[in-house]
Amino acid sequence: MLTRLELTWRLMDELIAQFLKLPSATRQSDFKLEDCHLHGTTVLALKYQGGVLLGGDGRASGMDFRIFTDKTPKVYPVSGSTAYGLSGDAHLGIEVGKILALTLKNYEKKEFRAMSFVAQTKMLAKMIERLLPMAMQGHIVMPIFVSCQEICTIYPNGMVVRGDEGYGGIGSGSPHAIHRIKARLADNPNPDKTRAIEIMLEAFAEAHKSDAATGSNLLIYSLEESGIAIVRNDVGNGPFSMNLL
């Protein structure tokens, strides 16, 4: 009989096997953990009174500075109370999100309760850790994982970094955006929802100005005790749009 973990790991193994067939898997790159956040995108998370905002731009780029689409969602709700934002290899990232959403749903159906946030983060971190060989060959996935109270960034070696300062960001535009967020939070460390949305839009505008891989179309979710809601959606039902739930 399959257990929950077996289901997850079997799916992960298939995913890894599928990637090992790619020609780029034979290429060795200079992998540095500190450069991981430089993958072309901007995904930001920001705490406010009573919840967390999670937003991402809509630009999918790669292969010699080509823009594939400006309307791809990079943030996905994976359960009733948590959401997942990805940077790096899009296909691998979305597949990890799918497996995570499936595992959480599977647990909920079997045990009649939702998995705790700690366990969800651990599960995601273990999956990313298993993908470390992929990351070293260039297929990096670096997700940000949020609930209505916590923000966690997960590095390709499985390290979980908690955003206790009240914000978090991944992708090449995030250093610029986080500078702006830090400056705005200096006056008002615990903003309300309206102010938090203003700060986030300003940070995304800054990232769009300074980073070529960050588009102007945004998808922003708000996570609160009552549930997950869309705050802003410019990407609509784009070509990569899918509902993981």
Which positions are catalytic? 41
| 66-91 exposure pattern, b = at least 16 Cβ within 10 A, e = fewer | eeeebbbbbbbbbbebbbbbbbbbbe
Q: Min. distance of Cβ 4 from other proteins in angstroms?
A: 8
N residues, the chain: 245
Taking the least distance from each CB to other proteins, the nearer of 66 and 113 is 113
Give the footprint of other proteins on this chain (CB under 8 A): 1-2, 7, 11, 98-99, 102, 105-106, 109-110, 112-113, 243, 245
Residues whose CB falls within 8 Å of the CB of residue 129, separated by 6 or more in sequence, listed in order: 156, 157, 158
Q: Min. distance of Cβ 244 from other proteins in angstroms?
A: 10
Taking the least distance from each CB to other proteins, the nearer of 7 and 231 is 7
Q: Min. distance of Cβ 21 from other proteins in angstroms?
A: 18
Taking the least distance from each CB to other proteins, the nearer of 14 and 192 is 14
Sheet with 218-224, side-by-side order of all strands = 167-170, 43-48, 51-57, 218-224, 227-233
